[in-house]
Structures are given as structure tokens and as C-alpha cells.
Amino acid sequence: MRIVDIREISVPLKGNVSNALVNFSEHTVSLVAVFSDVVRNGKPVVGVAFNSIGRFAQRGLLHERFIPRILKCTPESLLESDGRTFSAKAIFRAAMTNEKPGGHGDRATAVAALELAIWDLNAKLADEPAYVTIARAAGRPAQTRAKPVYAAGGYYYPEDSSNRLRSELQAYRDLGFVDFKIKIGGASLEEDLKRIHVALEISDGGEHLAVDANGRFDLQTALAYADAIAPLALRWYEEVGDPLDFRLNAEIASRYRGAIATGENLFSTIDTVNLMRFGGMRPGLDVFQMEAGLSYGLTEYMATLKELEAHGFSREQVQPHGGHLINLHIATGLGLGGCEVYPGVFQPFGGYSAACMVSEGYAMPTQAPGFGLEEKPGLSEAIAELIKR
């Protein structure tokens, strides 16, 4: 058994939305396909994945460095010892040949797309959903219960209004969501408070509403927002300042009694270890949002979870950023606390297929082999285009 081809296309995100720092209208995502020599029903078994939402496609890194390194490996070196499955660890090691430690950045997202495609491929070879494959690899029982999920939205639009925000969140509630997250920091504190109160009308209380500053604030502004939202008892206050400014995060944690969420822009295990050491994160309260698609894939992600638990935190405090189907499988397979969903933005990658059945704030992957990305409207067409090339 061997890998015979690896392909990538850059797929643009649909929609013109902004957070406090970024307009996503020009963003792209790397969609990757890993072809095996196993043929079923006249077609090769192909593993498919992507890096994540909210960064950019990594076509140059993939085609110039990482894909060639994997393809020149001997077939047996990329297999598990049983010879019947591909080794995600071996793929990771091959891709990272001659790479120096540190300086993760876009490299971490490029490698992640390839490594995650191997998990999809292995699950398809076993004819099982990816969350089952992931659970087995982690030594965990396969979950049969749905996971809690929350609808992320509330972005800033070119023609924003309270009515638009209200309609957006009501549409998510109609889909079965009970927990929500909106953006702050892209307007004045006064205007953002108005938006929060509109969202509270839909969420039925602060315990169902989180706010996300996307790393926008300095300490003074972060504390001003913290004081303003403290009486609202919100679900959490997310990515208050620069994601690597652990001192700022610790200062907020020492003065804000509610939960803080961060970690989506940490791309390695050691980054998360430093967050735990220096960022003031509190066991049993704060939320970690690291995502495998931004941090070298599941090989690195499982090492991160091991360190998190060794430092006294629970994996139930982890809710991956990203809002897509791959993370629902990861959260289910690894027993995480839940995950984000983008039901209305960042298409064709955001959200789940309809069959995942969001109900009363819970969702469950289908029994489709792999991540089931082929079941996702819009994304299935992009996958078909990539595979037929």
C-alpha cells in the first residue's frame, strides 16, 4: 500500500465579513487530497482535508517543500507496523525534514492539511467515520453521544445594523443552536455594548453568549471592556489581546472573574505550554481554543492535550476554533468540551452537513467514512474538482 499522488487547490471563502482586525473577503483555504493505490468500486481511496478557516491557503509551501518530501519517501516508511494503515506521525516527520524548531506560522497550517488528510484516508480505508479512528488512536472509547456546539457569527458587515445581527442570531437559533458568539472591538465600546444587548435578547442570558475581540485590545482597552461586560456574566471573553502576549492575558485573568478563552492562534505544543505557564489560565474555568488544522495536525494536537492535562487542566476546557466538520470529529473522538460552528459564514468550509442534526445545541458526525466532507454542500463540488484533475 502506498501514496501515489498528493494534490492541492486554493479555494476562496465566500462572503464579505470582518472582525476587529481582518476582512475575510480575500482569504483562501488549501484543500488537499492524498491518493492511495487502494481501489474500491473502480476508484482510488482518497483522503481529503484542509488547513483551516481564517488564515490563507499555503500553496507555495505545500508544493515546494512538504508534498515533494512525502512523495519521495519509500512506501513502507509511511505505513504503520501492520502495513494496513498510513502513519500520520510518519507523514508529519517526512514533511518536517530539515525544518528548524520554532517559527511555526504558516508552516504549521500547511503540514496540518496533509496530516489531517491521512486521518481521513485511514478512516475511509477502515470504512468508518474519522472520530472512531481518532478515538482508537488516542486509546479512547468511540463516543456515541452528541457534542455541545456553539454558533459563531456576529461579524461586522459593510452595512451593519442591530436588525441584521438580531436576524442572524435568530436564524442560528432556528437551526437548533442555543449558544452563540459575536465579535467586539471593531466598533466603539458604546456601540459594541449595544450589539451585545441585541445578542442577549436572542441568547436568553449571558451564559449563552460569548464575545471575541480577535486580539485587538491593549491592556487599558481590554480592562475597560472587562469592566463593562462583567455584570452581564457572559459565557467567555475571547482573545482579548495579542495571542502571544501572555502577560496581558494573565493580567486580565487576575481582574476579570468570568471565563477567558484563547489559543486559536497558537500553533504548537510549546506555545500552549507557555500559555499555561505564563498566561494566567485557570483550571476548571477558562477555555482553550487550539485547533489541529492550524497546528501541524492531530499528531501535535494530541501531544498538546497530554501536556494540558499534565498541567492540571481538563480536556473538557478545550473547544477548538474553526467552525468546521473536521473539528466536530476531533472534539468527538478526543472527548473535548465542544466546538465552534460557522453555520452562516466562511462557506464552503464553515458549518456541518445537515445530517449532523444540530438540536438543542448538540451535534454528532454522521457515519460517513472519514470526515464526511463529501456530504457538505459546496465543499463536495470543490473536492470533486480536485480529485478529477
Which residues belong to the active site? 183, 321
Give the type of residue at 158.
Answer: P
* 270 contacts: CB under 8 Å, gap ≥ 6: none
Contact 329, 131 (CB under 8 A): yes
* 372 contacts: CB under 8 Å, gap ≥ 6: 129, 130, 325, 329, 353, 365, 366
**Where on the phi/psi map is residue 216: left (φ > 0), alpha (ψ -120 to 50), or beta?**
alpha
* 159 contacts: CB under 8 Å, gap ≥ 6: none
Question: What phi and psi, each to the nearest 5 degrees, are found at residue 213?
Answer: -90, -5
Distance in angstroms (rounded) separating the CA atoms of residues 125 and 86: 10
Q: Coil, helix or strand for 165?
A: helix
- Give the Å distances, CA to CA, from 78 to 69, 84, 91: 12, 11, 6
Cell of 37: 493505490
If one counts every other C-beta atom within 10 angstroms of the C-beta of residue 71, the result is 13
Distance in angstroms (rounded) separating the CA atoms of residues 132 and 134: 5
